[in-house]
A and B are shown apart, each in its own frame.
Chain A
Amino acid sequence: MATALGSISEIDRELARLRVDPDTGEPYQRTSVMTHIAWVPNEWVEAAEDVLAGLADRHPSRTIVLVPDCDRGDELEAAVEVESFPSGQGRQVAVETIRLRLCGDRAAAPASVVEPLLLPDLPVFLRWRGVPPFGEGPFEQLVDVVDRLIVDSNEWPGLPGPYAQLAEIFGRVVVSDIAWARTSRWRPQLASLWPGIADVKTIEVEGTEAQANLLAGWLRSRLGRHEIELQHTPSDRLVGVKVDGEPAPFPPGDPPDPADLLSDELDRFTRDRVYEDAARAA
């Protein structure tokens, strides 16, 4: 159903055309709950598509996938897709995905491309793959047009340094971090160790670097004890936490998949000050 398009008006026209069921001529119902923007550099395209495929059915929305491609000439290259899902009364609900390749200088002004495509009066979420280029034009522009920024600091090298830069935008935009969400099963387990945990000296985390830093930052900020030491054993997922050498109880249930985690973040609207404190203290 995808067609190459070169301007916003062409995108609008194509969306209008695709919103009609070709078999019946009846329009699909639109029940969007948000605009979801994904900034996806080329190296992240495959991973991003996997997650988006799991999301479309759960959060009817307009998704705008932005792929910066600065090596090419100055142009916009868009493909539009309207996917429909049954929703009772024999009707179909439409979910719209706009894939935009921002070529050449267009990659430097993404907000001007996105603004005309935002659904009115609905929240706008920005999922930024990789480390955001804090202070640089494209990122700063998009932060100013969205309500919530979703990052995954598991994707960031050089931790904990970038958390300090992230903390500088907490006052401008609500931030979610999927790496933080992945620690949510473990935090109640650690909280259950109260009051013994109040005097913790060392926390050992077997997980990603982001999870280790965030859990240590969480304990430091909540307990008001910035001297708590972190020992990190690398693992691609969080499999164990020790408090002064004693293993914390293993959380029940299975860890959520990436689409579940992003889906949960898309359900949140308010500022998470506990996360903000943890990131500052990481």
Chain B
Amino acid sequence: MTETAEPTTTQQENPLLEGLQIRRVPDPCALVIFGASGDLTRRKLFPALYSLALRRLLPEHFAVVGVARSEESDHGFRDRMKHAVQEFGRDDFNEGTWDWLAAGMRYVATDFANDEGQDRLASVLTELDEQRGTAGNRVYYLAVPPDAIATLIRELGERRSTEGWTRIIVEKPFGRDLASAKALNEEIQKNFDESEIFRIDHYLGKETVQNLLALRFANGIFEPIWNRQFVDHVQITVAESIGIEGRAGFYEQAGAIRDVFQNHLLQLVALTAMEPPADYAADSVRNEKVKVLRSLHTPGPNHVVRGQYGPGYIEGQEVPGYREEPGVAPDSMTETYVAAKLFVDNWRWADTPFYVRAGKRLARRETTIAIEFKRAPHPPFDIQDDSLQPNVLVCHIQPDEGVSLEFAAKVPGQGMALRTVHMDFLYGGTFRQGIPEAYERLLLDCLLGDARMFTRADEVEEQWSLVDAIVAFWQRDRPSFPNYQAGTWGPAAANELLRRDGRSWRRH
């Protein structure tokens, strides 16, 4: 997050600035977290804020206000967040850093739509402007249930201050279909400019997701073969081994298609398939992603598979089926797995399938993008078995972040026996400094006003447009759930999806 000083007018006047490594520091501001009693605040947001504070990346004049329905004092809030940082932070705990952060922390207990509560929040913020010098600048983080977002946006719009700037971070899912996403965008646009809205998809904050852009556009060797001429197909997997972790209320409404497919998975498709942007500006990158999303289609209902896990075993431990999870209806038809064959209808990717899948309670936690290249057209070797595999470039998004290339090598000895070998680049092996958490990167980007790694309104609408088309297929049938055992790689129909194309999912 440092950059060499640009030759600006100021620098032309001040020759001492030349060559200095100047760290971009955000403007003074107050961060208001709606949903401060939730898991996201505890597990992700405060550990991220603490890591930023430890690295002196937060502005000197900074404050955080937690807002939630539950009653809690400022002291209680500070204490709870301190424990959260100690439990979930990636850095050693430093009392001095925490004291600095805690000194600017306040808590307001209120219902989001309560006028009196909003008045109290406004007065706390004014107080912080005076005490902490936050200058009227506000970041509102909406870590609240989807149905509360529109109300909050309206409240914030009606009360927006004329002093300083305002930015709003909206957690996923943004809407639950195209119509609701459009309605929410319209609500937002009544009071806020698109440049003030930061729709967060934490996958975009992952170093390895950003490394995909580096891999594609900073290397000369990949882009010439990154197309239908050389690529046989692409496989994208977002697999989780965990279940719904007590979030039945949310998950019963969302399912895998709204929880992961609509956002994380389609973002990975877009980054994999997009054209090189003209530059690294927010709109240049997002314009290219939107073009991909607009070009996506699935050929029909037979090319989409949904599943729901039954009881099974994860790491040797017996786990219940989805319908046995607390809070889930015993006859629930919510999908916990979705796989699809997608096509990107453009010059680069015409007729090249993108097989994508996302699911819960799968055999292991793994997010990968695998580019499988076409086979060598005519290997001159006398190969009897299936030892000559196609080349595969795999981007390991998580865990074991890195990139690996599979290619054939001669087995030492007489004759010409071949074996597929892996050439691996492991992030943790090469770059020994800790990888920043996605929320650190995204919070800091928002404080700096950089929207590059956030989702734009038209991106979200294109994502929902595809999801709506898939969900429309699902109205016509009622699958027999559960159809896969926890701890496996999903329903048999997902294997069939590729088998009928003469392909198979990658082995893990």
Contact = CB atoms under 8 A, between A and B. Distances in A.
Indicate the size class of the contact surface on chain B. Answer: 20 to 34
B430 A31 contact: yes
A257 to B, nearest CB: 15
A230 interface: no
A74 B433 CA distance: 41
Interface in B415-452: 424-426, 428-430, 432-433
A201 interface: no
Central interface residue in B15, B426, B432, by most chain A CB within 10 Å: B432
B426 A91 contact: yes
A188 B22 contact: yes
Interface string A55-93: 001111000000000000000000000000111110101
Chain B CB within 10 Å — which of A191, A197, A222, A272 has the most? A191
Interface in A187-243: 187-188, 190-191, 194-195, 197, 218-219, 222-224
B143 to A, nearest CB: 30
Contacts of B426: 29, 31, 87-89, 91, 93
Contacts of A218: 16
B21 A194 contact: no
B328 interface: no
A223 B18 CA distance: 11
A22 interface: no
A33 B430 contact: yes
Interface string B393-411: 0000001111000000000
A252 interface: yes
Contact of A87 (B14, B15, B19, B428): B428
Given A87-B428, A194-B14, A272 B22 contact: no
Given A29-B426, A87-B426, A89-B400, A57 B16 contact: no
Given A29-B424, A87-B426, A57 B20 contact: no
Interface-centre pick from A59, A86, A188 (highest chain B CB count, 10 A): A188
Contacts of B425: 31
B424 A184 contact: no
Q: Which 4 pairs between the two chains have the least Cβ-Cβ distance?
A: A274-B19, A87-B429, A191-B16, A93-B429
Interface of A: 29, 31, 33, 57-60, 85-89, 91, 93, 184, 187-188, 190-191, 194-195, 197, 218-219, 222-224, 252-253, 272-275
Given A29-B429, A194-B13, A197-B16, 19 more contacts: A31-B426, A57-B432, A87-B428, A88-B400, A88-B401, A91-B429, A93-B429, A188-B22, A191-B14, A191-B17, A194-B14, A195-B13, A222-B15, A222-B16, A222-B18, A223-B16, A224-B15, A273-B19, A274-B18
7 contacts: A29-B429, A88-B426, A188-B20, A191-B16, A195-B14, A223-B15, A252-B56
